[in-house]
């Protein structure tokens, strides 16, 4: 029997073998437009909250009730009186556009407390020049730029006047801090949760005709970039683990056993000449900017080297299982 609670936890925490991200902080491109103070001055409202679950396990609604006594908070959705504008775009897209143009702060409260559990709320908010006020069981310092958010959990008792005053003062001062980090070398990247509809193949790749289709598709830079962004959402504890996870996702072991890095021995195909190798390297560097191409290639070589052993092991396991049928 599968314990689904444990299964989900095993794939959601940062020390899992496989991690799926909603977003990450990356180095700013020199061509990116920097946030200007005038952009913040046009924001006419202080705080917003988009919420559909009115009663939660972690009682985030109690924190909202404490804050609304002192701050004007606009609540959108099933738990409030406001609705996002309805246009041709998706409802969530309209909500975030409204957030970016009108509000300075957003209650990015998770609906439950689990280790490392953080959803798109944080990254969507940071991307839109809004300061998130967060509430969750996460080491936010590891996944966000310095001074880019307010952790409500650091204020143990909002009923105490001193702690509440400190929080309110921090909210007032945060405008200058968001300008500071937006002008730094960090920016926010959101990760797509699926591949484009017109993506030509299904992973994992099982034969060379699939590889050829993929290579033709990602020969276009925009398609290669799209794939590398998607692959960057797959990850693990360290660079080696991330590369292995991506390779396991992309290649069936039987097909991988017909490849090596240079293709000079045993009539194997060289991966070094594939656009796919470039996509894998780019995907790792999006998340781990200090990682060198040489380090990534070394892990690719090692993973391909052991592919035949994994095939044999899989065959032995299959034979063993048949003996019990």
Residue 219 pLDDT grade (very low, low, confident, very high; cuts 50, 70, 90): very high
**Measured between alpha carbons, how far is 183 from 44 in angstroms, rounded to an integer?**
22
pLDDT of residue 276: 97
**Measured between alpha carbons, how far is 243 from 286 in angstroms, rounded to an integer?**
13
Residue 37 pLDDT grade (very low, low, confident, very high; cuts 50, 70, 90): low
b/e 69-102 (16+ beta carbons within 10 angstroms → b): eeeebbbbbeebeeebeeeeeeeeebbbebbbee
* Tens of pLDDT, residues 200-216: 999 999 999 999 999 99
Q: Is the pLDDT assigned to residue 3 strictly greater than 50?
A: no
Residue 89 pLDDT grade (very low, low, confident, very high; cuts 50, 70, 90): very low
pLDDT of residue 111: 84
Crossing angle between the packed helical segments 293-305 and 307-322, to the nearest 10 degrees? 40
Q: Which of 4-8, 90-94, 138-142 has the lowest mean pLDDT?
A: 4-8
Q: Which of 180-189, 242-251, 262-271 has the lowest mean pLDDT?
A: 180-189
* Tens of pLDDT, residues 113-145: 777 667 777 878 877 778 888 887 777 777 777
């Amino acid at each position: 029997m599968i314990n689904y609670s444990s299964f989900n936890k095993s794939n959601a925490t940062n020390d899992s073998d496989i991690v799926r991200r909603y977003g990450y902080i990356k180095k700013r491109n020199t061509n990116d437009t920097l946030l200007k103070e005038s952009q913040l001055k046009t924001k006419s409202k202080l705080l917003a909250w988009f919420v559909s679950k009115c009663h939660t396990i972690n009682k985030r609604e109690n924190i909202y009730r404490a804050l609304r006594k002192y701050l004007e908070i606009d609540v959108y959705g099933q738990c409030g009186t406001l609705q996002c504008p309805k246009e041709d775009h998706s409802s969530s897209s309209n909500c975030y556009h409204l957030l970016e143009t009108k509000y300075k702060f957003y209650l990015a409260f998770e609906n439950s407390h689990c280790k490392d559990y953080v959803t798109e709320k944080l990254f969507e908010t940071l991307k839109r020049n809004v300061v998130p006020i967060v509430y969750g069981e996460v080491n936010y310092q590891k996944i966000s730029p310095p001074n880019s958010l307010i952790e409500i959990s650091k204020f143990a008792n909002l009923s105490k006047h001193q702690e509440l005053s400190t929080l309110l003062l921090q909210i007032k001062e945060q405008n200058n801090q968001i300008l500071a980090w937006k002008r730094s070398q960090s920016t926010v990247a959101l990760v797509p949760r699926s591949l484009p509809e017109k993506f030509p193949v299904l992973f994992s790749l099982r034969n060379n005709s699939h590889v050829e289709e993929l290579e033709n598709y990602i020969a276009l830079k925009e398609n290669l970039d799209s794939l590398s962004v998607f692959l960057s959402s797959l990850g693990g504890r360290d660079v080696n683990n991330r590369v292995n996870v991506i390779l396991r996702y992309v290649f069936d072991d039987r097909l991988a056993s017909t490849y090596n890095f240079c293709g000079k021995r045993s009539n194997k195909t060289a991966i070094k000449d594939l656009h796919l190798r470039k996509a894998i390297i780019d995907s790792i560097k999006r998340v781990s900017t200090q990682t060198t191409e040489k380090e990534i290639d070394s892990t690719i070589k090692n993973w391909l080297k052991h592919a035949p052993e994994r095939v044999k092991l899989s065959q032995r396991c299959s034979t063993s299982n048949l003996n019990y049928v």
